[in-house]
């Protein structure tokens, strides 16, 4: 089975062809990061305009790289939501047009179901179920139980900012550019992550929920109190800033892994999953791997290209949905707040 996946929920225009949910025949990701960087975050109106420019060339490249004719596809899968409505609409309309013209079934995919499918795509046949999955991205920080492929029960989520959003806002505050996660990850290498003592709020009612707005404010207070100026030359970042972002990163990672560990102790899953854009973070990957080892459970974290937004994960999740008989009509609409689990 060959599925064309299309993803435009945020600032990446992506298309991919995946065979049998496990073989990536092509995966094209056109990032708009450079366009949004001067603003320190994604500007929704700019994002949708650039998706419109990019969507046809990106889909054509994915089909060409897979050496695939539209007639040979079994279905077109597209991210329906959640995400920026103007961005989602571009992918949804492109998918509808292609599916209609070529007479193919149209499969709507939840963006997070895509992230949760990435480990099954990257580690075909290896993920043991039930799994406990931590999804950390720019828009989401959630813990799911995955009893079977394509089934998700939400155990907890952020009550305010997503972890990736906190990375991006701290980077913006310090003049480090967008997206903030990769820059902070790089600057933190070798820095003193005990220089500033940050804590992440613990939710006291026993839920596996997260909260990251407090640490963002704590960084802001620290910056003001110590008169730290935004970085003007990215090639010469002062040690004070490196130590600050390393301390911030350590606090966020500690909070994420603590929740993951606690939920794993309670639920005894057969394996752990770490996915979403922030799963690209080197410290988070290391600490999650250490926790998994101590818990005696395998950890499945897709490679970075499949952790951050991409369309291969959407095609793979589309395949699972397709097999379950999920189909969309021509009235399919973008759903910016689509729930899951
Ligand atoms: O999943 P994703 O590509 O898009 C969303 O669905 O949001 O995640 C993007 C987020 C951004 O906030 C970005 O700063 C963060 O993932 N990110 C990282 C790293 N690479 C990307 N955060 C921490 N460390 C990284 N290495
Ligand atoms: Zn994402």
Proximal ligand: closest to the CA of 137: 1
**181 CA distance to ligand 1 middle (Å):** 6
Q: Which of 290, 313, 299 is nearest to 122 (CA)?
A: 313
Closest-CA residue, ligand 1 atom 10, reads: 138
Tell me what pLDDT residue 340 has: 86
Structural domains of the chain, count = 2
Nearest-angstrom CA–CA distance, 303 and 31: 18
**168 CA distance to ligand 2 middle (Å):** 14
Nearest-angstrom CA–CA distance, 239 and 188: 10
Proximal ligand: closest to the CA of 276: 1
Ligand 1 atom closest to the CA of 83, numbered from 1: 6
DSSP codes, 307-330: HSS-SHHHHHHHHHHHHTT----T
Please check whether residue 14 lies inside any domain of the structure.
yes
Residue 164 near ligand 1, beta carbon < 6 Å: yes
- List pLDDT tens digits, range 70-125: 999 999 999 999 999 999 999 999 999 999 999 999 999 999 999 999 999 999 99
H or E element that contains 245: helix 239-267
Tell me what pLDDT residue 341 has: 66
- The structure tokens listed for 297 are 């459970």
CB 286 within 8 A of CB 188: no
pTM value is: 0.96
Please check whether residue 254 lies inside any domain of the structure.
yes
Closest-CA residue, ligand 1 atom 7, reads: 138
Give residue 194's domain range.
Answer: 129-301
Q: What phi and psi values does residue 88 have, to the nearest 5 degrees?
A: -55, -40
Residue 91 near ligand 1, beta carbon < 6 Å: no
Please check whether residue 55 lies inside any domain of the structure.
yes
Domain identity same for 36 and 72: yes
Domain identity same for 23 and 79: yes
H or E element that contains 54: helix 44-65
- List pLDDT tens digits, range 238-280: 999 999 999 999 999 999 999 999 999 999 999 999 999 999 9
Tell me what pLDDT residue 2 has: 98
Residues 6+ apart with CB under 8 A from 103: none
Domain identity same for 156 and 292: yes
């Amino acid at each position: 089975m060959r599925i064309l996946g299309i993803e435009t929920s945020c600032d990446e225009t992506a298309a991919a062809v995946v065979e049998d949910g496990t073989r990536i025949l092509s995966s094209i990701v056109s990032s708009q990061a450079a366009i949004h960087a001067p603003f320190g975050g994604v500007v929704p109106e700019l994002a949708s305009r650039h998706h419109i420019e990019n969507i046809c060339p990106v889909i054509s490249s994915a089909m060409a790289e897979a050496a695939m004719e539209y007639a040979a596809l079994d279905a077109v899968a597209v991210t329906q939501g959640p995400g920026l409505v103007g961005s989602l609409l571009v992918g949804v309309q492109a998918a509808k047009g292609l599916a209609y013209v070529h007479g193919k079934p149209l499969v709507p995919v939840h963006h997070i179901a895509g992230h949760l499918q990435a480990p099954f795509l990257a580690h075909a046949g290896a993920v043991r179920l039930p799994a406990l999955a931590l999804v950390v991205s720019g828009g989401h920080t959630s813990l799911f139980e995955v009893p079977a492929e394509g089934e998700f029960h939400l155990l907890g989520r952020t009550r305010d900012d997503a972890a990736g959003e906190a990375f991006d806002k701290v980077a913006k505050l310090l003049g480090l550019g967008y997206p903030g996660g990769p820059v902070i990850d790089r600057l933190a290498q070798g820095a003193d992550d005990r220089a500033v003592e940050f804590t992440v709020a613990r939710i006291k009612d026993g839920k596996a929920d997260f909260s990251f707005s407090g640490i963002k404010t704590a960084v802001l207070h620290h910056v003001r109190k110590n008169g730290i100026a935004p970085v003007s030359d990215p090639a010469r970042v002062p040690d004070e800033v490196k130590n600050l972002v390393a301390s911030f990163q350590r606090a966020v990672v500690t909070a994420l892994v603590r929740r993951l560990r606690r939920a794993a102790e309670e639920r005894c899953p057969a394996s752990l999953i770490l996915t979403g854009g922030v799963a690209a973070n080197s410290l988070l990957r290391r600490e999650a791997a250490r926790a998994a080892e101590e818990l005696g459970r395998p950890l499945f974290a897709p490679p970075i290209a499949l952790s951050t937004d991409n369309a291969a994960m959407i095609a793979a999740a589309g395949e699972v949905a397709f097999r379950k008989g999920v189909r969309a009509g021509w009235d399919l609409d973008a759903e910016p707040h689509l729930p899951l689990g």
